[in-house]
Structure 1
């Protein structure tokens, strides 16, 4: 494997590696695919947020025994989760499990054009806010958490990063399950100073149709029982 860019982090967690191996199996049911993606998302998010999010003092609280204590909250204050439809939906709950407070969930719908494998955006519900004056206030989140289980050619994820950057996000964390080596290089180079990528594993090869080898198959089809559509 070629050296990974400095903004790419691949977990060595033994439980994560074992669960990724389980998810690769064709025999896994849709119910277990959903559970495994949730569990993998929790672990990847936990590792990513350990460095991407800071703990800060919050307001005073009181324990059940009447003792005062200083609460802990996290920064940045404005975060959002952005799943790439469809398969990114499978990771949202896992990310929400780790975050101590609810955050907005925005959606990006993208697909790869079959003949060129180029990304095509068909849905975007990011709050429209882009100001003409860059110095004026905007509604963009300081940290956008982009979730996409599989990064293959990298075109879709790179396009999503560009969309979030134009929207006004100050930083982006990409959380995924597995990526192809070449696609990962493409994503990492899209906005290296503002993006960190966190993954459970990396595969070396892509098929001629743009699927990872050995990969996970089509995660959206496996999650939503649409294999063979």
Structure 2
């Protein structure tokens, strides 16, 4: 377990996450099971993240099937969105969306790491950038989902993009991170970002891959290993 991480970096200690992460690491785990394990881990880590990031809000009254009146509760903030980083972030969207009482908008960011420099390159962005002086499209909370934080460069770029859009708070939910990458991401905008991960590996290799890691999780999910 990583030691002395920034206060806004949170690593799951849930026994089921630890067990499922071990299953996910195996090279013998097929694409269907890989997808299911990512979903399960995202659900558990997402529960922890939302317990910290959301509050309860009363929105009126309703009547139970027995005719008793009760107070209707939902979550606050009222406006939020989910931002998966393509392509592997797509595998976490259903899990995170299912935790919320109502569907929220999903805005995709496409990023890849340039092979020689390992720097992120944005190739797709469908955030609904607002016109000057109109902040109505900006949510109160944005939730970035991506299974892996390796060097930390990609999630830092995503955080910068959302800050430029004007988002005041960001929650990042990931399956696995390197200690250095998690630290880098947590320090990118410490006052506005909380990062929740299922586990931490100590380092990355010369290719920027986690050790022991999960391999290329996107290739594993979409059966494109060896492309």
Aligned to 2:163: 165
Structure 1 residue 205: deviation in Å?
A: 1.2
- Equivalent residue runs for 1:44-193 within 5 Å: 44-129=45-130, 131=132, 133=133, 136-193=134-191
Report if aligned partners of 1:130, 1:168 keep a CA contact under 8 Å in 2. Answer: no
Report if aligned partners of 1:154, 1:184 keep a CA contact under 8 Å in 2. Answer: yes
- Deviations 1:2-46 (Å, cap 9, x if unpaired)? 410000000110011111111000101100000000000100000
The alignment's C-alpha RMSD in Å is 0.9
Moved >4 Å (runs of 4+): none
What TM-score, normalized to structure 2?
0.97
Q: How many residues align?
A: 226
What TM-score, normalized to structure 1?
0.97
Report if aligned partners of 1:174, 1:196 keep a CA contact under 8 Å in 2. Answer: yes
Using the alignment, how far apart are the partners of 1:130 and 1:220 within structure 2?
Answer: 34
Using the alignment, how far apart are the partners of 1:2 and 1:182 within structure 2?
Answer: 11
Aligned to 2:18: 17
Report if aligned partners of 1:130, 1:138 keep a CA contact under 8 Å in 2. Answer: no
SS of the equivalent of 1:92 reads helix
Show structure 1 runs of 5+ residues with no match.
none
Show structure 2 runs of 5+ residues with no match.
none
Does the C-alpha gap of structure 1 residues 12 and 107 become closer, same or farther in structure 2, counting only changes over 3 Å? Answer: same
